[in-house]
Structure 1
Amino acid sequence: MENFKVYELSEFTSDSDFPFFIQYGRHEDSLSVHSHRDFSELTIVLSGEACHIVEDEKMTVKKGEVFIVHGDTKHGYLDTHNFRICNIMFREEYFNLRKYDISRMSGFQALFYIEPGLVKNHHFTGRMSLEKEEFEKIKAEIAVMNNEYKLKKEGYKTLLISKFMEILVTLSRIYRLSSDENEKKILPLQLGEVITWIEKNFRQGLSVEELSKKAGYSQRHFLRIFKETYHMTPTEYINAIRIEYACSRLRETEESVTDIAYDCGFRNMSYFYRVFKEKMSMTPQKYRKSI
């Protein structure tokens, strides 16, 4: 696994203003281990099966399974049998998914962030598996997307964005795992439900102890998985949501900074100012004036 290719999105599309690409792939032979420098990949297995290598783990993937591979993950395929997939490649920051209510769906958090982190760091081999009717619906949607991408008619980018978002919502609503019983000790959906609880209750006083209990983990285990998944601590995650909300209130209302801080869940003004400046590189007052 030392020598592997690192792909960039520019190798698939030259449109730097629209960092998105969709393709069908049929793999009669193995696909060597590689990673993605600047994009993530949503994969739907359309037929057959293969051994999916993720970092140092090997797992079987088969028709109807769906998974996300983020850019910093080494992966490839071995022992392919009639293996056909659809890859949707995208830059996450382009879609700014956190601004939409999909970020408050436990299935989305599980599919998009938690499961890929567990697969990479905890030898987790569960995969989302679609029922026949669900599979046919998703397959039809990606066929429309692929056709739009090829023809590039007027408005195709808007249509592709809307179809991609629709697929993400559909998958998030029906998220389930195809996994062994012994894997259920670490359920992505279980942690996803905690994340969505944070998203909805960030203005309350939240503690790591309370959150770890909701997840069903020890504090130490919860903190480790959380940081591996989101690259920040639970406290940093909560503060990021609070500051984002504070910014919207500063833009859209004339409320005092103190009232906004308390409404966001901060009970100490000095702490609020420090966190705000760390996130926004300016004070709340300067932010309001800069709008």
Structure 2
Amino acid sequence: MNTKHGIFKLTAKGYFLDQQLLNVMQQGEEKVLLHVHKDFYELVIVFNGSAQNVRSVGSETIHAGHVFIMPEGSVHQYRNLKDFRYYNILFQPSLLKMGGDLMSLETLTGSHPLFDFQGAGENRMSRILTVNESVLAKLVIMLSELHNELENRHRWWQESAYFMFMQILITLLRTGSPAESADKVENVFSIGKAIRLMEDDCTQKFTIRSLAHIAGMSSSCFRHKFVRTMGLPPMEYLMMLRLHKALLLLNGPASVGEVARQSGFPDSNYFSRLIRHYFGYSPREIRKKYNSGKLTPNMLLKDRPLNQHAADQDKKS
């Protein structure tokens, strides 16, 4: 690393070991000085907080869920960091040549917003894309696995890391969309906090008021934005989470009453009626079909995903 006119020069030699074309780093709130990527690309995936991405032509606010690429020769730094956490995937241009013409830089550049580089010279960068909460959660897991693969260097690690990288890249190409306004992004990820709590323990006695407090919104605003984001009201989403948990528990030894309680339904009769209403069988019938091999939890969940109830409501309205 050296400097020129106050700019730190980052080169591949400082980040890549012999025969290594790829590196992954999880970054925190450490101060990031103005720097140039001399001979490698930087794919940035923000998973928490916000910051200003500063270039000589100006700056843009980046938030959790934002994704962008700084190509070789680009200069930038981060300022005004607020709980800022992100992953850097550093890769050399030759990495994409391994996939042939289909996934080469020449083919990708300009064909997708993530590789639609704006500006010139040191100000080049891709468009900023955004991914939703569920995609971001999957990406964090994939990035952690890629980081471990590169750290451990078990047999065939390079091939494995390459395919992991390509899986991450394809996920971004499929799901990334042009970034919305800062307010919209903040709303989605504030609601995401409430969703994560419900999914972590759906048996808790959540209320609209308690969930809205977690999201930092009024009850009416939270309900409206939740429906717009998830396709159904918060309490109905919570009920579907509980029903899905019950389907999995019915494949175990617990009694129907115990399954009901462990899924967040204190009244087993009400629980049985709901199961029959949504899945067409009583809990005992489902258990018998599980035992005979005629049905599995995955078959029922596939036929009745969480968003199916929202679709049913649309048909009624």
Hey, what's the Cα distance between the residues in 1 that align with 2:126 and 2:102? Answer: 28
Per the normalisation by structure 1, the TM-score is 0.54
Hey, what's the Cα distance between the residues in 2 that align with 1:152 and 1:124? Answer: 31
Structure of higher RCO (CA pairs closer than 8 Å, 6+ residues apart) = 1
The question of whether the paired residues in 1 share the 8 Å contact of 2:74 and 2:122 is answered with no
- Select between 5-14 and 98-107 the one with higher mean Cα deviation: 98-107
What is residue 8 of structure 1 aligned with on the other side? Answer: 11
Residue 178 of structure 1 deviates from its aligned partner by 1.1
Residue 119 of structure 1 deviates from its aligned partner by 8.5
Residue 42 of structure 1 deviates from its aligned partner by 0.6
What is residue 170 of structure 1 aligned with on the other side? Answer: 171
CA offsets per residue over residues 148-200 of structure 1, 9 Å max, x none? 111111111111100111111111112311145xxxxxxxxxxxxxxxxxxxx
What is residue 63 of structure 1 aligned with on the other side? Answer: 64
What is residue 130 of structure 1 aligned with on the other side? Answer: 131
What is residue 22 of structure 2 aligned with on the other side? Answer: 20
Any idea what SS the aligned residue of 2:53 has? strand
Any idea what SS the aligned residue of 2:28 has? strand
Report 1:114-125 matches (<5 A): 114=116, 116-118=117-119
Residue 14 of structure 1 deviates from its aligned partner by 2.6
Listed as ranges, the gaps of 5+ residues in structure 2 are: 182-317
Residue 132 of structure 1 deviates from its aligned partner by 0.8
What is residue 31 of structure 1 aligned with on the other side? Answer: 32
Structure 1 segments of 4+ aligned residues over 6 angstroms from their partners? 104-108, 119-125
CA radius of gyration, larger in: 2
* Aligned residue identity for 2:87: C
* Distance change >3 Å, CA 130–CA 119, structure 1 → 2: farther
Hey, what's the Cα distance between the residues in 1 that align with 2:132 and 2:96? Answer: 28
* Distance change >3 Å, CA 71–CA 105, structure 1 → 2: closer
Residue 61 of structure 1 deviates from its aligned partner by 0.5
Any idea what SS the aligned residue of 2:148 has? helix
* Aligned residue identity for 2:70: V
Hey, what's the Cα distance between the residues in 1 that align with 2:123 and 2:38? Answer: 22
* Distance change >3 Å, CA 107–CA 4, structure 1 → 2: closer
Residue 9 of structure 1 deviates from its aligned partner by 1.5
Any idea what SS the aligned residue of 1:89 has? strand
Hey, what's the Cα distance between the residues in 2 that align with 1:175 and 1:118? Answer: 21
The question of whether the paired residues in 2 share the 8 Å contact of 1:102 and 1:108 is answered with no
Any idea what SS the aligned residue of 2:154 has? coil
Hey, what's the Cα distance between the residues in 1 that align with 2:155 and 2:37? Answer: 30
Hey, what's the Cα distance between the residues in 2 that align with 1:125 and 1:112? Answer: 6
Hey, what's the Cα distance between the residues in 1 that align with 2:5 and 2:59? Answer: 16
Hey, what's the Cα distance between the residues in 2 that align with 1:106 and 1:71? Answer: 15
Per the normalisation by structure 2, the TM-score is 0.50
* Aligned residue identity for 1:178: A
Hey, what's the Cα distance between the residues in 2 that align with 1:36 and 1:111? Answer: 20
Give percent identity, aligned residues only: 20
What is residue 75 of structure 1 aligned with on the other side? Answer: 76
Hey, what's the Cα distance between the residues in 2 that align with 1:127 and 1:27? Answer: 20
* Distance change >3 Å, CA 36–CA 47, structure 1 → 2: same
The question of whether the paired residues in 2 share the 8 Å contact of 1:107 and 1:175 is answered with no
* Distance change >3 Å, CA 72–CA 117, structure 1 → 2: same
Any idea what SS the aligned residue of 1:49 has? strand
Residue 97 of structure 1 deviates from its aligned partner by 6.4
What is residue 258 of structure 1 aligned with on the other side? Answer: none
